[in-house]
Structure 1
Amino acid sequence: MPLKQLLCLMSLAASATCRCYAPNPAFPVPSWPNGASTLKAAFKDLEKQYDLAIKDPKFENTSFSIEVTSKTGTLWGYHHTASNLNPARPGDKDVSTDSLYRIASITKTFTTLAVLYQHAAGNLSLDDPVTHYISELSSPNYILPWKDITLRSLASQLSGIPREFAQSDIWNSIPDPTSIGLPPATGEGLPSCDEYNYYKPCNRSDLLDQLKTAKPVFAPNQKSTYSNLNFEILGLVLENVSGKNYSTLIHDQIFSPLNMTASSLTPPNDESHAVLPLMPEGEPNYWDVDEGVQNPTGGIYTSSADMGKYLRYILTHYNTLATGVNWFHPVSRGTGPHSFYGMPWEIFSTPDLLPHSDRPVTFVTKSGGLPGYYSHIYLLEEYGLGISIFVGGNGDVFDDVHTPVTTDLIVAAEAAVWEDIDAIYTGTYIPTKEHSHLNTTLTLSTSPAKGLHLEQFISNGTDVLSTDLFSDSTASEWHAQLLPTLLFANETSQQGEIYRVLPVLSNLPPASKRPVWEDDCVTDVDTVTYAGKAVNEVVFWHGEEGGGLVVELPAWNVSLQRVVDEGRGMVVQGVKVDL
């Protein structure tokens, strides 16, 4: 029976045809400090694009900062200073990596990280109802079903509670509601803080009082919908379990350990690199607005330099923050077919970015906005990259700012990755000295469309790719692609990269020409075994036996060494052999 058909039978959830395309991840996470030079041309191109973009008059009142980081350091940045600044309060006149912005709702990720820390320490549980930590919510005076709302629900935007309690009410902004068809309203029962009282900060009592009359948008855990209230409540939980106010807790748990020395929850003074956009007449500058009890949802001030430290930490710790939690995993669907909610991430996965592959690129993001400030962070687990964009001024420029660095750069990174993979892995492999009696060879090829794949595999004289083990009678064009598991045979020394071979269809028909279920595919990597060993397991050993690359095939009980053509000879493990 062909391996691919066997895969289908072994996975009851698979479609009848079991057609899978472009598996992900396709390569190990790149180490950009060792190959960052491959992105220099892309960065120069980005600079040209931004140099041209800022000539548009809409950038005259707008400053912005963009930075790209890898797991180990900043790779590139671009900073623009508005040509029009407020003469009475200009703020930073030369925007740089140290310039400070309000990042608004990106603060939610800091709140969630603090909750994860408290969960890992045993001070709270993500799956406890919020009533365990805020006793007032157990009162029958509250309409919302708090006993069914967990901390995980809140952090994942799955609580079903309303979005706001003291903002975004047009009663504050429209002098005559009847002009748009609304009836007159007295405002009785509305809060007396934030937008209802000249931006007086709301406190804990204000929040809890307003929650008494709040009604659900959805039942708990039914569907994610954006809510700032979720994180204001989590802020109260953090204060209760830690005994510290929110600002002190975030400083002690996150800012200080990560050396984010410029970050705070109170407004830095104007001379401390403050980005102060020139606001339209009559609009407040939100730099000085105290968020009060709403700080956990949007109160942080930071620089792109500090944000780079934060993104590097997340890129290297997202799967180790708390037992059983991968911080990059989605928890529910958004409204769009490619959009998902995380905890509290906004996740976008698109198959339309890469020019030679339908493999989706996934952006784990968080956005934020206050009047005059617009921010976005992007984490790309597969590429080991983090991007931050902070804008102070005209929000209409955001598309011009974020599109090049999140599209052109990723396409360039993809090309650079395959150049490296080709140089490291592509070639013919023959048996090592202990297996030299075997008539066995393996040839690996690389392309952006097919990834790293088996071009040929002869095992002791048998063409394995033409046997029932790998052949697929249901498709004429398929290839045996190597999928990195990101694990090592020796985890201690991080040696022995483990891959799995998967049969993959080579050509994905256009969406308009394929049946609805054509691209239904569940992940099923651990499939057929032989004598207890995975038939599709491949282990790469770098630098073994004289410095060459060795491939181990455990189920086939053979190790193969890479050979490299040099003129009329071959180099095998560093020793030239004449042909």
Structure 2
Amino acid sequence: MFLWAALVVPLAVLSAAEAPVPTDDCPILGPIFPSDFDLTKSISVKEAIATFPGLIDTLFESGTLNRSDVSFTIDVFSAQTNSSIYSYSHSGETLKSSLTADVLDDGTIFRIGSVSKLHTTYAILAVAGMKVFDHPVTKYLPELACNTRGDRIKWEEVTVGALASQMGGSGGFLFPSILCMETGTCNNQAFLAEMRDIKRPVVPVFQTAMYSDAGFGILGRVLERLTNQTYAEALQSVLAHPLGLKSTSSIVPPDEGLNALAIPGSAAESSWGQDNQIAAPSGGIYSDTHDLRVLGLSIFHSQLLSAETIRHWMKPQSHTASLTNSVGAPWEINRLTLPVSPTSNRTRVSDLYTKLGGQVAYSSIFALSPDHGIGYSILIAGPTSITDRIPLRNLVGTAFVTAAEHAAFENAATNYAGTFADPNNEASNLTLTVDSDRPGLGLPSFFVDNVDWRANIAQPALQLSGDLFSFRLYPSGVEYPSPTSSGLMKTFNAVTGLKKPGPRSAVEGGVGLFDDECVAWQSTGFFTTSEFELEVVGGRVESVRHIDANITMRRVE
């Protein structure tokens, strides 16, 4: 069983010589421990908060960021506390005159660039549901149909979902749409005619993800048809008003009482006030960290969409040429390898759902970690804001996603590990452990009437041979109120594997092209014997029920 004292060792003690490698256990993709607790009380998150300002200083001292020429504000939030758990702001000296209220805080408005794509997709789903992703865009925009030229996009083949997941092959805006503000020719019909008659496909629809600003211009028009409103109006009626967003708009906010970082200048110097409503669904929104936090929490808590729709939405739709990056709608999914405990070099995969944005003099980051119930946003302004966003994204993600992973480990060590027995028959008992190099809960022993029951968990035909097998339990996400207490019943799935499995693929530190060991998804739930229900009262596991054996064991230590 994991020793609590080890948690006080700082993350930095990990030896550089210990290269990260995957855990011997192959967990189910998703959280390895529950995250329904106050992160701010954990040692790992407290340490991340305490050390973060020094990490920012390192970026300045190394020249990665220019202290004088960049301003940014960071917000990290938790679905458990429904609030910000950490915020940090830096105001560059050369940009202080652009602060309209002389402050840089949670309500300071920036331009958010392509994070606007997330707002557009969210609004469409809120209006029409997930089924709209299967509809051809010509259902809503018949003006795009009937193009007979073979070298133009066949819009009848392009679905709403293809555009939302960057797989419509529609690429960037044509120059007339980009310059229409200057020429006074911005209108939907001209834009749609350009996309039908002039736009060539970058790739065929659904071949692969290719970033497409113009595709989101089309999606903005779909939202307008769905709501019978302009894009600016729909943004307010579908998202801003229901969620209580204070600053989110595709139109420059009025000067009176304005709290913004409004950089002056021409379109080449600043995008502030450059409001092209054709392009707005792709990258034209104004917002602040308060509104982005509210938006993220609304996704975590299924405020505008059902929980099953959220789960469906937050999935990859395409891969990229990188093993660590996939594409959603419009998520940019970073596949992270996280150390499973504070002092371990053994890692597991966790998906971080992000969206990056950038305009002239502004950039932004929005990120959600479903495994941990946390998110963060970063709003940046300055001449180098586009390049500055990557080191800031990496710094915040590495610090706080890792800290949340280790906080869940801490919480499980305190509240989930223990020994449990049938009050009427002590010969029926089990032990749950939390182990420093392994994901999930360990099951080193499980007896029913003095018979080792773990062989039945693996599969009925499997006979245990010595101590060859590993048994780990992972949360399934299925939970319901306890019928006998004020707590929750949380279902966990047991996964069986060899304690010393064969090598993983070469890219994971093993040999060869293929990974033949990570097959938990193929066997979990194959038999009903893998299901356990943990009764959690006040955050602590008080009893464990094995479904197939129909036996409930209560905590004895």
Same structural fold, with TM-score higher than 0.5 when normalized by the shorter chain:
yes
Separation in 1, partners of 2:468, 2:390: 39
Deviation at 1:53, TM superposition (A): 3.5
Q: Is the 8 A contact 2:231 2:277 kept in 1?
A: no
Partner of 2:55: 49
Partner of 2:4: none
Separation in 1, partners of 2:493, 2:550: 16
Deviation at 1:453, TM superposition (A): 1.2
What code does the residue aligned with 1:206 have? Answer: A
The reply on whether 1:498 has 2:486 as its aligned counterpart is no
Correspondences of 1:169-188 after superposition (within 5 Å): none
Partner of 1:209: 193
83 and 555 in structure 1: CA distance in 2 versus 1, 3 angstrom threshold: same
CA deviation vs aligned residue, 1:412-448 (integer Å, no higher than 9, x gap): 222221111011111111112xxx2351221111024
Partner of 2:10: none
The reply on whether 1:439 has 2:419 as its aligned counterpart is no
Corresponding residue SS for 1:61: coil
Deviation at 1:499, TM superposition (A): 0.7
Partner of 2:85: 75
Q: Is the 8 A contact 2:101 2:259 kept in 1?
A: yes
Q: Higher helix fraction: Structure 1 or Structure 2?
A: 2
Deviation at 1:521, TM superposition (A): 2.6
CA deviation vs aligned residue, 1:82-139 (integer Å, no higher than 9, x gap): 111375x55453211111110011111111111112223x9x8332211111121123
Partner of 1:9: none
Partner of 1:550: 543
Correspondences of 1:526-565 after superposition (within 5 Å): 526-529=524-527, 534-543=528-537, 549-564=542-557
Separation in 2, partners of 1:248, 1:526: 47
Deviation at 1:209, TM superposition (A): 2.9
The reply on whether 1:131 has 2:146 as its aligned counterpart is no
477 and 399 in structure 1: CA distance in 2 versus 1, 3 angstrom threshold: farther
Deviation at 1:449, TM superposition (A): 2.6
323 and 512 in structure 1: CA distance in 2 versus 1, 3 angstrom threshold: closer
Corresponding residue SS for 1:59: coil
Deviation at 1:214, TM superposition (A): 1.2
The reply on whether 1:140 has 2:150 as its aligned counterpart is no
Corresponding residue SS for 1:517: coil
What code does the residue aligned with 2:437 have? Answer: A
537 and 86 in structure 1: CA distance in 2 versus 1, 3 angstrom threshold: closer
Separation in 2, partners of 1:26, 1:151: 30
Task: State which drifts further: 441-450 or 22-31.
Answer: 22-31
Corresponding residue SS for 1:46: helix
Query: What TM-score do you get using the length of structure 2 for normalisation?
Result: 0.83
The reply on whether 1:403 has 2:394 as its aligned counterpart is yes
Q: Is the 8 A contact 1:103 1:373 kept in 2?
A: yes
Deviation at 1:336, TM superposition (A): 0.9
Separation in 1, partners of 2:510, 2:537: 47
The reply on whether 1:252 has 2:244 as its aligned counterpart is no
Partner of 1:119: 128
Partner of 1:170: none
Separation in 2, partners of 1:64, 1:112: 26
150 and 45 in structure 1: CA distance in 2 versus 1, 3 angstrom threshold: same
Corresponding residue SS for 2:243: coil
117 and 430 in structure 1: CA distance in 2 versus 1, 3 angstrom threshold: same
505 and 67 in structure 1: CA distance in 2 versus 1, 3 angstrom threshold: farther
491 and 28 in structure 1: CA distance in 2 versus 1, 3 angstrom threshold: farther
163 and 417 in structure 1: CA distance in 2 versus 1, 3 angstrom threshold: same
CA deviation vs aligned residue, 1:345-387 (integer Å, no higher than 9, x gap): 1111123665443311211011111111111111000000011
Separation in 2, partners of 1:537, 1:132: 45
Partner of 1:175: none
Separation in 2, partners of 1:131, 1:21: 44
The reply on whether 1:287 has 2:296 as its aligned counterpart is no
Partner of 1:347: 333
Query: What TM-score do you get using the length of structure 1 for normalisation?
Result: 0.80
Partner of 1:59: 67
Deviation at 1:40, TM superposition (A): 2.1
469 and 93 in structure 1: CA distance in 2 versus 1, 3 angstrom threshold: closer
What code does the residue aligned with 2:544 have? Answer: V
Task: State which drifts further: 34-43 or 213-222.
Answer: 34-43
Q: Is the 8 A contact 2:318 2:326 kept in 1?
A: yes
CA deviation vs aligned residue, 1:509-559 (integer Å, no higher than 9, x gap): 473432322345361355454xxxx11111111349xx9701111211211
Task: State which drifts further: 199-208 or 267-276.
Answer: 199-208
Correspondences of 1:346-425 after superposition (within 5 Å): 346-351=332-337, 355-393=344-382, 394-395=384-385, 396-425=387-416
Corresponding residue SS for 2:491: strand
Q: Determine which of 20, 23, 29 is the counterpart of 2:28.
A: 23
Partner of 2:218: 233
What code does the residue aligned with 1:164 have? Answer: F
What code does the residue aligned with 1:386 have? Answer: G
- Please say which structure displays the higher CA radius of gyration: 1
Separation in 2, partners of 1:505, 1:460: 25
Separation in 2, partners of 1:103, 1:51: 24
Q: Is the 8 A contact 1:348 1:363 kept in 2?
A: yes
Partner of 1:107: 116
What code does the residue aligned with 1:488 have? Answer: E
Partner of 2:14: none
Separation in 2, partners of 1:507, 1:277: 58
What code does the residue aligned with 1:24 have? Answer: L
* Identity within the alignment, %: 23
What code does the residue aligned with 1:42 have? Answer: A
Q: Determine which of 71, 84, 93 is the counterpart of 2:94.
A: 84
Deviation at 1:472, TM superposition (A): 7.7
Q: Is the 8 A contact 1:369 1:375 kept in 2?
A: yes
What code does the residue aligned with 1:423 have? Answer: T
Partner of 1:482: 473
Q: Is the 8 A contact 2:489 2:534 kept in 1?
A: yes
Partner of 2:16: none
Deviation at 1:205, TM superposition (A): 3.0
236 and 441 in structure 1: CA distance in 2 versus 1, 3 angstrom threshold: same
Separation in 2, partners of 1:67, 1:323: 26
CA deviation vs aligned residue, 1:230-267 (integer Å, no higher than 9, x gap): 11111111212211111111101101111111221111
Partner of 2:3: none
Q: Is the 8 A contact 1:21 1:506 kept in 2?
A: no
Q: Determine which of 34, 38, 52 is the counterpart of 1:33.
A: 38
Task: State which drifts further: 268-277 or 99-108.
Answer: 268-277
- How many pairs align? 508
Separation in 2, partners of 1:497, 1:548: 10
Partner of 1:11: none
40 and 277 in structure 1: CA distance in 2 versus 1, 3 angstrom threshold: farther
Separation in 1, partners of 2:93, 2:499: 52
Task: State which drifts further: 128-137 or 378-387.
Answer: 128-137
Corresponding residue SS for 1:286: coil
Separation in 1, partners of 2:520, 2:416: 28
Q: Is the 8 A contact 1:472 1:478 kept in 2?
A: no
Deviation at 1:45, TM superposition (A): 0.9
Q: Is the 8 A contact 2:458 2:530 kept in 1?
A: no
563 and 201 in structure 1: CA distance in 2 versus 1, 3 angstrom threshold: farther
151 and 300 in structure 1: CA distance in 2 versus 1, 3 angstrom threshold: same
Q: Is the 8 A contact 1:488 1:497 kept in 2?
A: yes
Q: Is the 8 A contact 1:500 1:537 kept in 2?
A: yes
Deviation at 1:488, TM superposition (A): 2.0
